[in-house]
Chain A
Amino acid sequence: GENVEQHPSTLSVQEGDSAVIKCTYSDSASNYFPWYKQELGKGPQLIIDIRSNVGEKKDQRIAVTLNKTAKHFSLHITETQPEDSAVYFCAASFRNTGKLIFGQGTTLQVKP
């Protein structure tokens, strides 16, 4: 069945350091890979996404890389700030549907 595994489950970094979160997916037909950030008491919010025809995408301090052969993708946050502290979810589309399969989430703590 469809599955997205996300690691690590928790990540603590010092302000200014980089943070990397990795996900693997099982469905070779997946072609859309968004990343969501969820702050306490709020719904998830999209921060960046990538489609299967692209290997890397950047938006200021955030970048995502995709390796379709290995079926894994990663989120990179550089120059982390305390306001980056949140839970981050990766997701992968399921076949040719509007369905997203989410990873279990990574709690990122950025220490000032």
Chain B
Amino acid sequence: DAGVIQSPRHEVTEMGQEVTLRCKPISGHDYLFWYRQTMMRGLELLIYFNNNVPIDDSGMPEDRFSAKMPNASFSTLKIQPSEPRDSAVYFCASATTFYNEQFFGPGTRLTVL
């Protein structure tokens, strides 16, 4: 398996633009997680899905952020409109069950100017 796949790897955009980050989890994994990593706040869980259903979105910072998982092999994280403070590395991870290894993707480095 190729592991968790994220695209794009780098995204530079201007304030106010819509940004869409994509993730393909490992086949057979029922859990998908979206994290944000910054120097100030570390690694924060934004939202996670179980069997394509959002379970906990309490980490989503505000209404500008939304996430979907239309099927077992694809998820998106959308920011609209983007702001400079959204600049961070966004990771997607997947896992088979609770309390098992989460496999992280390579991340998307987002820069909002």
Contacts and interface: CB of A to CB of B under 8 A. Distances in A.
Interface of B: prevailing SS = strand
Given A99-B48, A104-B42, A93 B99 contact: yes
Given A98-B48, A98-B50, A99-B56, A46 B42 contact: no
Interface string B70-113: 00000000000000000000010101001101101111000000
Interface string A57-97: 00000000000000000000000000000000100010001
Contacts of A36: 104
Contacts of A99: 45, 48, 56
B106 A43 contact: yes
Contacts of A51: 99
Interface string A34-61: 1010000111111001010000000000
B71 to A, nearest CB: 20
Contact of A46 (B31, B33, B43, B102): B102
B55 interface: yes
Contact of A105 (B42, B56, B99, B105): B42
Contacts of B93: 43
Contacts of B56: 97-99
A89 B43 contact: yes
Contacts of A34: 101-102
Given A46-B101, A49-B101, A104-B42, A98 B95 contact: yes
A82 to B, nearest CB: 23
Contacts of A93: 98-99
A75 to B, nearest CB: 16
Contacts of A102: 42-44
Nearest to A105: B42
Interface string B38-65: 0000111100101000011000000000
Given A97-B98, A98-B50, A98-B55, 18 more contacts: A34-B101, A42-B106, A42-B107, A43-B91, A43-B93, A43-B104, A43-B105, A45-B104, A46-B102, A49-B101, A51-B99, A97-B56, A98-B99, A99-B45, A99-B56, A100-B45, A102-B43, A105-B42
